[in-house]
Amino acid sequence: MEEAIQRDLNSDFNGVGEKLQVFKYPHPVLKKVAEPVTEFDADLEQFCKNLLHTMYTAPGIGLAAPQVGVSKRIFVLDISYQREDVTLADGSKEKRCTEFNPLVFINPVLKELDGEQLHEEGCLSLPGLYESVKRYSSLEVEYQNCSGEVKSMKAEELLSVCIQHENDHLEGIVFLDRLSLLKKNLLKKKFLKKKKNK
C-alpha cells in the first residue's frame, strides 16, 4: 500500500490529496489521547494521502492525525524529500516536491528505546517555535500499514526523533511538554502572544 501511495505522489503530487487544516496549539484536540485504528479501508488510505499532502504542502517532515483534528493513532513522515522552485509557462513560480519517501505509521508502538540525543525540533501546530529536545537516540517501532499488515522498523538520529515527536502527538503531548517547566512557560507565552497579534 505504501508503494501505491509513493507511485501516486510521484506521478502527480498536487492531485493526490486534499490539504487539511492544521490545528494550532493550544487546541484541545492536541491534548487528547488518540484512539486506535480498527478499520483498514479505502477511506483510511485516502486520509493518509491527505495527511501526506498537507505535510508536503506545509511544508513539514512529519504530521500526526490529531494535528488535523482526527484523534486516531496515525502519523506520516518523510525526512528526505526535496523541495524546489519551478517556473511555470506564465512566468509564475511554484514549489514542487520530488524524491518522495512517504512513511505511514498506524497504531505504532515504540520499543527498544535506547541512548540519548538532543535535536532542535519544530511543529506545524506551533509554527515559528524551535527548541532542542532530549530524546532517545535509537528505537524500534512496530506499526500497521494502510492494509493493516504489521511491520517494524529500526530508527536512529533524525528518523528516531521524528517518530518520537509524532508518537507524542498520539498521546496528547507536544514538544513543549518535553522541556523544563521554566522553558515551556516562556515559549508558551511567546507563542500565544505572537498568535494573538496575528
Q: Is residue 176 at the binding interface for Ni ion, with CB under 5 A as the rule?
A: no
Closest CA to 121 of 71, 183, 69, 66: 183
Which residues make Cβ contacts (< 8 Å) with residue 52, sequence separation at least 6?
5, 9, 16, 17, 63, 76, 78, 102, 104
Indicate if 35 belongs to the active site: no
Place of cell 489521547: 33
Residue 74 or 123 with smaller CB distance to Ni ion: 123
Of 94, 112, 166, 171, the catalytic one is: 166
In sequence order, what DSSP letters do the residues of 131-168 get, joined into one string?
Answer: EEEEE-SEEEEEEE-TT--EEEEEEEHHHHHHHHHHHH
The residues in 121-140 that bind Ni ion, with binding defined as CB under 5 A, are 123
Whole-number minimum distance, CB 42 to Ni ion, in Å? 27
Q: Which among 43, 112, 34, 42 is positioned nearest to 70, based on CA atoms?
A: 34
Cβ of residue 39: shortest distance to Ni ion, in angstroms? 25
Q: Report the residue number, 47 or 75, with the smaller CB distance to Ni ion.
A: 75
For Ni ion, the closer of residues 24 and 151 by Cβ is: 24
Number of residues that bind Ni ion (CB under 5 A): 1
| 104-123: contacts with Ni ion (CB under 5 A) | 123
Task: Please tell me the distance from the alpha carbon of residue 198 to that of residue 194, in angstroms, as a whole number.
Answer: 6
> For Ni ion, which residue has the nearest CB?
123
Minimal distance, residue 31 CB to Ni ion, in Å:
13
Closest separation in Å from C-beta 92 to Ni ion: 31
Contact 93, 87 (CB under 8 A): yes
Instruction: List active site positions.
Output: 166
Binding positions for Ni ion, rule: CB under 5 A: 123
